[in-house]
Structure 1
Amino acid sequence: MSKPHPARHGGLPHQVRIIGGQWRRTLLPVADRPGLRPTPDRVRETLFNWLGQDLHGWRCVDAFAGSGALGLEAASRGAAEVLLVEQDAALARQLQALKDRLQAQTVTVRRGDGVSALAACAAGSVDLVLLDPPFDAQALFAPALAAAARALRADGFVYLEAPVAWDAAALAEVGLAPHRHLKAGAVHAHLLVPLRAACA
C-alpha cells in the first residue's frame, strides 16, 4: 500500500503486471484507494533479481498486500506458501477474487493487521517477508520490521519499501541488517537480512 497513483487514463482502473513466473504478463487491477501505491515494475524486477528468479519452496508473507503485486509475484515464481494480509475489506475481497481467478492454490488471503499477522507466525518460519506499508503510517514501520525479524528464518529476507532510507543503526534496533538498497523516485527499496546472519 501507499500513496495515491496518478490519474487513470480514460477513467479505466489502473493496472500493474506480474513480470515473471507462471503468471507472467497477467494484469492486476489497482483500486483507487487512499494510500494504495503498487510497487513499480522496475523495483519489483530488481527485487526478484536480488532474490533469484526461482522461489520454489519459499514461505512468504506480504503483510500490507494492497494490490497483491509483491506477494503474487512471489507465488508466480514458485513460492510454496504466500500469505496476503490486507486490512481494507474491499482490497481483501479483490485479492480473494484474484486468487480465485488465478487458481492460486499456494496463496492465502487474510483480512487483518499486517503486524499482528507477522507476530502470529512461528519464530524462524518465514523465508521472505514483504513490507510495503502506507508511507503516511510511519508508526507501523518499526513494529512491522521487528515482527518480521522474529518470524524470519536465519537465511531469510525482508523486503521493505519506505519513503526514506533506513540505516544500519536503526535496522539493528529491530534485529535486521541492510543487504541491498535501491532508490527509485520517492521509493527506497531495501533488502534486509537477520542481524544474527549478518554478524555470523
Structure 2
Amino acid sequence: MSRAPSRPGASAPRPAARPARSSARAAAGPAAAPEPAHRGAGEVRIIGGQWKRTRLPVLQRPGLRPTPDRVRETLFNWLGQDLAGWHCVDAFAGTGVLGLEAASRGAAEVLLVEGDAGLAEQLRKSCDKLGAETVRVQRGDGLAALRQRAPRSTHLVLLDPPFEGGLFEAALAAAVPGLADDGWVYLEAPQAWDDAALAPFGLAVHRHLRAGAVHAHLLRKV
C-alpha cells in the first residue's frame, strides 16, 4: 500500500513491513577477497518497475562494476517491489542502476551521488531519457552527501564503493545517522560482513548473498 511521501529533512514515514528474517546470517567477518574483473560493459538494463527492460548507456571506467541483474533482482525481492514514499541515497552511484531501480519502483526521492564528472553527466542524460522527476544527480563526495542527510530521513542507503578505496567503514558510519529507524542499508563488498563487524555501526545482517567475488548484504539497525 502506498504511503504519503515525507518532506525531506522531516522525520521519515515507516517503510513497508520488514522482509521476513533469514534464518542464516553471514558467518564470516571481513576477509580478503579478489577484486572482481572490470565489467563496465557499455550499458545496463533496469529489471523492474515502470522502466523495466529499459537499457541505459554507461561510460567505460576502470573498476566500474554494474551490480548484476541477479543481485538486483534478489535485493528488490528482499525489499519489496513497491517503494512508494521511500527516500533513497545511492552514495557511490557509478552507473546509477541501483538507485534507478528504486526510482522505477516508485521511490519518492532518489539521490544519485557520483564523483566522476563524465559518469555524473551520463546519469543526468539517463534521467532525462527516463523522465525521472524524483531522481536528483549530485556530482560530489558520497560520504559528505550521507552526512548531510537529516536524521532518520532516509529509508534506503545503497553503498557500493570502489572496492580498492577502503571506504566501507567510513560509508557505514556516515549512513547510519540519516537512516530511518526501520530503514535499510544495502552493502556490496568483496568480503562478507558479520554482525560482530557491523556492531560498532549499530547495524546487523538481515540478508546476505554471494555472487561470484561480490557479497551483497541487506543491513538493518539494531
Q: Given the two structures, how large is their TM-score scaled by the length of structure 1?
A: 0.91
> Out of 191, 202, 205, which is 1:178 matched to?
205
Residues 189, 216 of structure 2: 8 Å contact kept: yes
Q: Who is 2:143 aligned against?
A: 115
Does residue 97 of structure 1 match 2:125?
yes
Residues 3, 34 of structure 1: 8 Å contact kept: no
Does residue 79 of structure 1 match 2:123?
no
Q: Who is 2:176 aligned against?
A: 149
Structure 1 pair 118–3 and aligned structure 2 pair: CA distance change class (3 A):
farther
Residues 58, 122 of structure 2: 8 Å contact kept: no
Shift of 1:41: 0.1
Q: Who is 1:135 aligned against?
A: 163
Q: Who is 1:5 aligned against?
A: 39
Shift of 1:14: 2.2
Find the aligned partners of 1:92 and 1:32 in 2 and give their Cα distance: 13
1:44-69 deviation digits (Å, cap 9, x = unpaired):
00000000011011000000000011
Shift of 1:3: 5.3
> Out of 32, 44, 59, which is 2:60 matched to?
32
1:160-194 deviation digits (Å, cap 9, x = unpaired):
00000011111111121110000000000000001
Question: Which residues in structure 2 correspond to 1:48-59 (within 5 Å)?
Answer: 48-59=76-87
SS of the residue 1:22 aligns to: helix
Letter in 2 for 1:175: G
Q: Who is 1:9 aligned against?
A: none
Find the aligned partners of 1:142 and 1:98 in 2 and give their Cα distance: 30
Letter in 2 for 1:5: R
Residues 209, 215 of structure 2: 8 Å contact kept: yes
Aligned-residue Cα RMSD (Å) equals 1.2
Higher helix share: 1
Find the aligned partners of 1:68 and 1:82 in 2 and give their Cα distance: 10
Q: Who is 1:22 aligned against?
A: 50
SS of the residue 1:16 aligns to: strand
Find the aligned partners of 1:115 and 1:89 in 2 and give their Cα distance: 17
Shift of 1:31: 1.6
Does residue 66 of structure 1 match 2:100?
no
In percent, how many aligned pairs have the same letter?
Answer: 70
Does residue 188 of structure 1 match 2:215?
yes
Letter in 2 for 1:135: F
Q: Which has the higher contact order (CA 8 A, sep 6+)?
A: 2
Residues 58, 119 of structure 2: 8 Å contact kept: no
Gaps spanning 5+ residues in structure 1: where? 7-12, 196-200
1:116-171 deviation digits (Å, cap 9, x = unpaired):
10000011100000000011112x11111111111100010000000000111111
Residues 3, 134 of structure 1: 8 Å contact kept: no
Find the aligned partners of 2:75 and 2:163 in 1 and give their Cα distance: 19
